[in-house]
Structure 1
Amino acid sequence: MNEKTPTCCYHEDEGFSCDEPAEASGLCYWHDPQITKNGPDDAKKLEKFARDGGMLRGISLKRAKLTGIDLVRHHQKVGFDMTHAELYRADLQGAHLFNLNLSNASLMKADLRDSNVHCANLLGTNLLGIKWGGAKIENITTGKKIKQEIQALEAEHLGEREIANDYFEQAEEIYRDLRKAADREGLFAMSGEYIRKELTMRRHQMPQYSYPRAVSKVIDIFCGYGEAPMRVIGFSMGLIIACAILYFFTGLRYGTQLHQFQMSNDILTNFYLFFNCIYYSVVTFTTLGYGDFTPVGFSKAIAAIEAFTGSFTIALFVVVFVKKMTR
């Protein structure tokens, strides 16, 4: 009676298991991390393995030579699933990885030069040290936070400052590499997002209560490091309304009349007064200064601060807007 051929012992908690014949290690050829897939036919073998429905989740391709490999699932909306795959230092130059699911995988120091990674899922993937030169990265999904950023924030929460800084430094490097790759491909909107993340990671490495970190945070809030002109507009609207409320209670003079909130006024009168305060706030913010309304008492200090901030903010908006449009 023939003994049953043992199958690969690779198993995931999510319920995925490999049923390929096992090697002496108990794992199949593709899941065994001790086997380096750098043979001349390994790329073609892996393509066939994928087309035949082999399990690509968790496969070990550490230092594999897979130049020009085609792992595109043609005529299918969903690409091949390589979740948890290990591709440390894998040679994937010129590879076709369109729509490939590489979530929670490791592409650390992989060579992706001239490859097509368009629409690939890279959520939770280790992207440290990747060579992106010439890679097509349009519509890749990296999520709001990459793996190292999440790890850094967790370490920071636990008070492990040194570990957190190490992860923040790695995250900064990853975002910088992605930003450069996006710039080379002319993906300037994507590049803008990555430069904001890159500078945010750099800020997190600064001492928590330091002046440079505070300045960096203010710049981020105001304009997203020059990449978010809508933030400047939002800040402007908020300042105009806030100052208008202050004018409403501290008072403005129109000729011989004092425009100020009074409990004895009816709702319509107070609404009219507040509308005039908004008008004066806009005029002051834009430094037009028509002169029909004049501040009184504490309103003078508010008007001075608003005028100074307004002139600075308008100049900032012009710089940020022109920067975005010229890219």
Structure 2
Amino acid sequence: MPAEHPDNTLDDTRFWQDDGADKSLEDLAARLEARARTGNPMQKFALRRCQLPGINLVNAHSKSGFKLTHSDLYRADLRKGHFFNVDFSGSSLMKANLEGANLHCANLSDCNLLGVNLEKCKLENVTWGSELIQEKQARATRNIAEKHEYYQQAEEIYRHLRKVTESEGLFEQAGTFFQKEMVMRRYQMPRYSSQRIISRMVEIFCGYGEQPLRVILFSIIAIIFFAVLYLLTGITESDHLLRLNFDNSFQDNISQLLKCLYFSVVTFTTLGYGDLAPTGWARGIAATEAFIGSFTLALFVVVFVKKMTR
């Protein structure tokens, strides 16, 4: 039988932290609102399965919101609740129903968000934290099966967060969640598998399609790298060999480097004006650069269009 508490003790911390206390009261939401307004700490509250639809925990007379930290809100009904600037950090919102709630400026860092319903929520300026607790748990365990399960849960959470932020028009945040979703999926792959290696390369190269500037940075680095190779192996200009020569003056070598850089640009972009031509080993290098360049430019267009049209 659940523990009974007389009405005059409902504001007592022991009642709110007692998982066995009867919290099926019709005015439970009003009592929790009143408790919040007292300014007393609200930590480790046991609110599993509590019916709190429409609850208002907005601290209207202060710049800082109420703190409902490290609390258990498993399967709590919080539909259309008002939680502006509320600090939920460390709490469990597992399978809680927050449909239509106002979470503007709320702090959800270190919360268990597995199965939470955030449909139609106001999610502007929410503090999500740098990582999910499932990620921390995955790193902490050495059990492969448990590690895989935690990463699978994290992927599921990030997928849901991506969808709800997209539906709210928060595309930058949705892009961040998509990247993390892909990372969690990668961690579930065999450690040295080709799939995992390719996935890691895609992340570095373009952030899973969310970082077009990474493609530009890669292009610049590649162009400079190949320009140095051309300077070492040599290219021709009207039958005159352009190549690094320590017997030449510093200015002459810099001039040849700039010409190699120009040749690298037109090769990378597959323009090929014909005023400069590779010779010897430089031919294979130029073919490799042209292949990489055509692929990179096509990828940049795809990534850029995806980013701009989301």
Amino acid aligned to 1:216 = S
**Residue 59 (structure 2) aligned to one of 69, 73, 76:** 73
- What corresponds to 1:57 in structure 2? 43
- What corresponds to 1:128 in structure 2? 114
Contact 2:10 2:16 in 1 (8 A): no
Amino acid aligned to 1:260 = R
Cα distance in 2 for partners of 1:21, 1:223 equals 57
Amino acid aligned to 1:301 = G
How far did residue 171 of structure 1 move?
0.2
Amino acid aligned to 1:272 = S
Q: Secondary structure at the match of 2:136?
A: helix
* Alignment partner of 1:303 is 2:286: yes
Cα distance in 1 for partners of 2:157, 2:80 equals 21
How far did residue 326 of structure 1 move?
1.1
Q: For 1:126-175, what per-residue CA distance to the aligned partner results, in whole angstroms no more than 9, with x for missing partners?
A: 111101111111211112211111221333xxx42211111100100100
- What corresponds to 1:140 in structure 2? 126
- What corresponds to 2:3 in structure 1? none
In the TM superposition, 1:1-327 aligns within 5 A as 28-155=14-141, 159-327=142-310
How far did residue 122 of structure 1 move?
1.2
TM-score by length of 1: 0.89
How far did residue 27 of structure 1 move?
6.0
CA RMSD across the alignment: 1.7
Amino acid aligned to 1:136 = K
Contact 1:36 1:61 in 2 (8 A): no
Amino acid aligned to 2:264 = S
Q: Indicate how the Cα distance of structure 1 residues 277 and 184 shifts in structure 2: closer, same or farther if over 3 A, else same.
A: same
Q: Secondary structure at the match of 1:258?
A: strand
TM-score by length of 2: 0.93
Q: Secondary structure at the match of 2:263?
A: helix
Q: Secondary structure at the match of 2:273?
A: coil
How far did residue 66 of structure 1 move?
0.7
Cα distance in 1 for partners of 2:171, 2:286 equals 39
Q: For 1:76-108, what per-residue CA distance to the aligned partner results, in whole angstroms no more than 9, with x for missing partners?
A: 221111221111111100000111111111111
Contact 1:36 1:63 in 2 (8 A): no
Amino acid aligned to 2:47 = L
Cα distance in 2 for partners of 1:294, 1:153 equals 52
Cα distance in 2 for partners of 1:162, 1:242 equals 43
How far did residue 22 of structure 1 move?
9.5
Contact 1:117 1:137 in 2 (8 A): yes
- What corresponds to 1:17 in structure 2? none
Cα distance in 2 for partners of 1:207, 1:225 equals 19
Cα distance in 1 for partners of 2:282, 2:138 equals 46
Amino acid aligned to 1:315 = A
Contact 1:37 1:63 in 2 (8 A): no
Report which stretch shifted further, 40-49 or 248-257: 248-257
Contact 1:206 1:213 in 2 (8 A): yes
Q: 5+ unaligned residues in a row in structure 1: which ranges?
A: 1-19
Aligned residues: 303
Q: Secondary structure at the match of 2:241?
A: strand
Cα distance in 2 for partners of 1:271, 1:62 equals 71
Amino acid aligned to 1:48 = A
Q: For 1:243-296, what per-residue CA distance to the aligned partner results, in whole angstroms no more than 9, with x for missing partners?
A: 111111111111122111112222222211111111111110000001111111
Q: 5+ unaligned residues in a row in structure 2: which ranges?
A: 1-7
Q: Secondary structure at the match of 1:279?
A: helix
How far did residue 38 of structure 1 move?
2.8
Contact 2:10 2:31 in 1 (8 A): no
Cα distance in 1 for partners of 2:195, 2:22 equals 47
- Higher share of residues assigned helix: 2
> Percent sequence identity over matched residues?
49
Q: Secondary structure at the match of 1:30?
A: helix
Cα distance in 2 for partners of 1:108, 1:21 equals 28
